[in-house]
């Protein structure tokens, strides 16, 4: 259920879902990807002991 809630309320997870919808992934695949993304985000917060920053990836120049 946290993944479904994140799909509705979390902009980071919502952008992941939108990218996956554009490539015709099934709904359950999107939910599982959201679960995995949440797990990775939680691990990163626990490992670094820093609060979650949704703009963290913006400092890197991915694909630009």
Summarised one tens digit per residue, pLDDT across range 3-52 is 999 999 999 999 999 999 999 999 999 999 999 999 999 999 999 999 99
For the chain, give every domain's residue range: 2-54
Helix (H) or strand (E) holding 51: none
Q: How many CB atoms lie within 10 A of CB 32?
A: 13
The answer to whether residues 52 and 41 touch, using CB atoms and an 8 Å cutoff, is yes
Q: If you write DSSP's letter for every residue of 30-50 in order, what string do you get?
A: HHHHHHHHHHHHHHHHHHHT-
What is the pLDDT at residue 62? 66
């Amino acid at each position: 259920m946290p993944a479904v809630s994140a799909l509705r309320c979390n902009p980071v997870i919502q952008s992941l879902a939108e990218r996956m919808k554009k490539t015709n992934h099934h709904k359950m695949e999107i939910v599982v990807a959201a679960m995995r993304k949440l797990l990775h985000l939680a691990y990163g917060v626990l490992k670094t002991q820093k609060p979650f920053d949704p703009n963290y990836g913006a400092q890197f120049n991915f694909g630009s």
